[in-house]
Amino acid sequence: MSRRLAAGAATLLLAAGLAGCSDGGAQERAAGKGVPAAGASSAGAADRTRRPEPEQASQSPSAAASASASPMPSAEAADSSAADGPLKGKVVVVDPGHNSRNNEHTAEINRQVDIGTGHKECDTTGTETNSGYTEAAFSLDLAHRLRKILQERGAKVVLTHDGDRPFGPCVTERADIGNKAHGDAAISLHADGAAPGQRGFHVILPASVHGGAADTSSIVGPSKELGARVAGKFVQSTGSAPSNYIGEGSGLDTRGDLGGLNLSTIPKVFIECGNMRDAQDAAQLTDETWREKAAQGIANGITDFLHG
């Protein structure tokens, strides 16, 4: 499919970030990224399972360088009082991808939910490194680090879950939690499960979609800006290169098949921080020092976005 250059400020922002770089489609379809638990169709894998081709090509500034069955206490439990700081008065929604107990609840997570433009599984198990470090564990650890930094800057942080639920939440509920929190920005944290040799991070932006409950017309623009800022700061903080298999070197991809983006009414992006199935990326993802740098980069991008 055709790829377009992202224009304007978003392009310049990512260019600045990529300039400091020292050195996550088919890749997930081949490697089983986010494979649903037994009995689920791979073609219907849940939100952020990359089996279908994106319905819209990625924005490429490379030239510029459904609730689950359980109740919903997590968002309120994770609402965090803000300190004074540059983000005072801002609400940031942080969505740790997947859930470490999803594989114990196959019927629940394989249940189809409406994402506006179609149906997908409620959630998936995610991927893991060859040594068994799971994407769910990674994303929750990163969420805790990110929350701490954002709180120190004065933001109120809402987690979609805190490892306190038996499964999920479903992708529909993850979006709804952010919407009800009236977040100023939201980010869903992940790591990819592509083939070895496919390396690097990428940020997923919402496509322009309108169908059923999905209408991203009001968030496409600000989400693009959020994504470019996060990508640029992620490079600066971690030294990681943008994906060599998605986004044509830009670090940005656009998708219209993710319920967490389709159903969001607030600016939101996903980030795949690296490829858990690649040994070099896995060495970073499993390293606490690197994860702290990743959290710092994401926080810096969000802070830049909220300060405009």
- Give the H/E segment covering residue 203: strand 202-206
Whether residue 169 has a cis bond before it, omega within 30° of 0:
yes
Which residue among 108, 135, 272, 292 is the active-site one?
272
Alpha helices in 8-84 (DSSP H): 8-19, 26-31, 74-78
Query: Counting every residue, how long is the chain?
Result: 308
Backbone angles phi, psi at 206, to 5 degrees: -75, 135
Q: Which of 227, 257, 237, 263 is nearest to 11 (CA)?
A: 227
Q: Please say if 152 is a catalytic residue.
A: no
Q: Which residues are CB-contacts of 7 (< 8 A; sequence separation ≥ 6)?
A: none
Q: Is 286 exposed, middle or buried (0-12, 13-18, 19+ CB in 10 A)?
A: middle
Q: State the catalytic residues.
A: 272
